[in-house]
Structure 1
Amino acid sequence: MPFEPLTHEPAVEPGQAREIARDLVVVPNLGVDLVPNIGIIGGSHSVLVVDTGLGPRNAEKVLAFAAEHARGRRIYLTTTHFHPEHAFGAQVFADEATYLVNSAQAADLVHKGPGYLEMFRGLGAPVARALDGVVLATPDVVYDDAYELDLGGRVVRMEATGRAHSKGDQVVTVPDAGALFTGDLVETGQFAIFPWFPPHDTDVSGSRWIEVLGRLAAAGPDIVVPGHGDISGRRILTDVREYLELLRDETWSRRDSSLPEETIAAEIEALMIERHPEWEGRDWIAKGVGCFCADHLKIAMG
């Protein structure tokens, strides 16, 4: 979610898809803003699509690609969280697929979806065009904590992580392939995305995010498909967690000195850019500082 208006189309490119394990395909985001990594996971009788792309036109391309890959198999859809480039194409799948999400994400779609749709429409004409005609979809299946989907000879596990990047974050695990889809809990080549937009949205929790990444790393996946950026190995889970821990520690140490938040953010942004000069998304550092300042205040108040 960039702050500057986009001048390019946030287009999903199914022609660039590649198989990362048996009957497990990823349509990569190719480093394009507001384009997520999208998964198609196959079993003997069904396939599961992970995320839709931004808006109906992108989702139509994803559905067409998934249907071709499925070759008559049943199609399911899930989304890693409710943010527009991940879930705001689900309406296209309505007559073709069964849509599954966790209950917290379903609530996010209802209560926050309209506000995010309006906010994203302000991110430039290409984004507004991509969102033209969006109707927020209602999931067909809603689960609370975890859901195991049998695709035929392959069981995929969807798990609600609890509040971290959003209230309704979900990871998707393909155990036989050692693969993990993280959504925006993990990005490669960029600073962690903190959707910290007080007073409209303050549900992101840096402290819980760190805990979630620790649990995911302990599970030891071989392949990690991030929300955005290159597919990686399990080390990326530790790398992101260590970045968040450093961001927290640097924020809290300065917060104890009662410095203004703007000063804290400027100092920490300079430090993080020095540590990771090649990473994109520098605007998210200050948002992360704001989030950890709020976490610090909650702890101080007991």
Structure 2
Amino acid sequence: MSEHWQEVGDRVYVRRHKSFDMNVGLVVGDGHCLILDTRSSHREAGELVEAVRSITGSPWTVVNSHSHFDHYFGNAIFGPAEIWGHVRCAEEIEQYGERARAGMIKSQPERRAEYEEVAIVPPDHTFTVEASLDIGGRIVHLRHFGLGHSSNDVVVHVPDAGVVFAGDLVEEGAPPAFSDSYPLDWPVTMAAILDELPEQVVVPGHGAVVDRAFAQAQQAELTLVAELARRAHVEGLRDLIKHFPYPEEVARQAIERAFLQLDV
């Protein structure tokens, strides 16, 4: 996988990275730009700055798609720009940022120094349902459609280019990640996105750029996961696990998260 910018709409770019197979978005307007997600360390963010500067020299606004470390650990490198996110994104980064750092140091000890130098910087501009940003004369909409991959997923809609950045609500190349998810809500949230946004270009948080049909197929899988999890809560899991559309390890994580919701 080569790390280069792919133009997916008029002056709308995606850069797919080897690290975590993660996508960063760039929307370029007249004299201003928007950067979606800042990668998983200051070092990776520094590389991203150089990549952005190969496209535009304009000042930027930053958006975090949600509160997982690989999408915001680079925030400090982009200051003093505005950083936008859902209100719960800022709250969860403040509450769990240090725990996330400790977890990554434990799981990737070879990157300890890289993670230790990260300054935990949450968004300083927040919203609950929607916000619209003027990016150099281009209106970019930030939308929170509901619970899904996390409590605070933000969809970035660039209507004049026909592009939707779905964050980790859509995943390509691997099953969706359920560790912080709300499996009973996720398919409903995805259905709302598909109902309201007709765009054909959908950028997932990780993996290759996809189309509307891919997002619809993933929504159907998520619907099946929610239905099976509800049944498993009543009937037991033994005979149902084989019907899940994802590997057993992924299915069990989805079930665990769904049971947390059902047991409330």
| TM-score of the pair, normalised by structure 1 | 0.80
Q: Give the equivalent residue in structure 2 for 1:199.
A: none
Cα root mean square deviation, aligned: 2.1
What is the CA deviation profile of residues 77-126 of structure 1, one whole-angstrom value per residue up to 9, with x for unaligned ones? 1110010111111011113x321112111111111222122112222234
Counterpart pick for 1:223 among 198, 201, 219: 201
CA contact (8 A) 1:35 1:53 kept: no
Counterpart pick for 1:211 among 188, 199, 208: 188
CA contact (8 A) 1:67 1:75 kept: no
Distance 1:114 1:161 in 2: 27
CA contact (8 A) 1:191 1:282 kept: no
What is the CA deviation profile of residues 204-250 of structure 1, one whole-angstrom value per residue up to 9, with x for unaligned ones? 31122111100111121211000111101112221121111111222
CA contact (8 A) 2:14 2:24 kept: yes
Change (3 A) 1:130 1:243: farther
CA contact (8 A) 1:22 1:177 kept: yes
Of 219-228 and 156-165, deviating more is: 156-165
Counterpart pick for 2:59 among 74, 90, 93: 74
CA contact (8 A) 2:89 2:152 kept: yes
TM-fit CA distance, 1:158: 0.9
Question: Match of 1:158, SS?
Answer: strand
Distance 2:32 2:111 in 1: 32
| TM-score of the pair, normalised by structure 2 | 0.91
Correspondence list, 1:1-302, <5 A: 15-29=3-17, 32=18, 34-71=20-57, 73-95=58-80, 97-196=81-180, 204-218=181-195, 219-257=197-235, 259=236, 263=238, 267-268=240-241, 270-272=242-244, 283-298=249-264
TM-fit CA distance, 1:186: 0.7
Q: In structure 2, what residue type is equivalent to 1:77?
A: V
Q: What is the number of equivalent residue pairs in this alignment?
A: 263
Q: In structure 1, what residue type is equivalent to 2:176?
A: A
Distance 2:118 2:222 in 1: 34
Question: Match of 2:67, SS?
Answer: coil
Question: Match of 2:263, SS?
Answer: helix
Change (3 A) 1:283 1:121: farther
Distance 1:126 1:230 in 2: 28
What is the CA deviation profile of residues 35-61 of structure 1, one whole-angstrom value per residue up to 9, with x for unaligned ones? 410011011121000011111100111
Q: In structure 2, what residue type is equivalent to 1:79?
A: N
Change (3 A) 1:128 1:56: same
- Identity among equivalent pairs (%): 22
Of 140-149 and 221-230, deviating more is: 140-149
CA contact (8 A) 1:164 1:212 kept: yes
CA contact (8 A) 2:183 2:225 kept: no
CA contact (8 A) 2:97 2:120 kept: yes
Change (3 A) 1:35 1:136: farther
Q: Give the equivalent residue in structure 2 for 1:7.
A: none
TM-fit CA distance, 1:157: 0.7
CA contact (8 A) 1:53 1:85 kept: yes
TM-fit CA distance, 1:130: 3.8
Question: Match of 1:191, SS?
Answer: coil
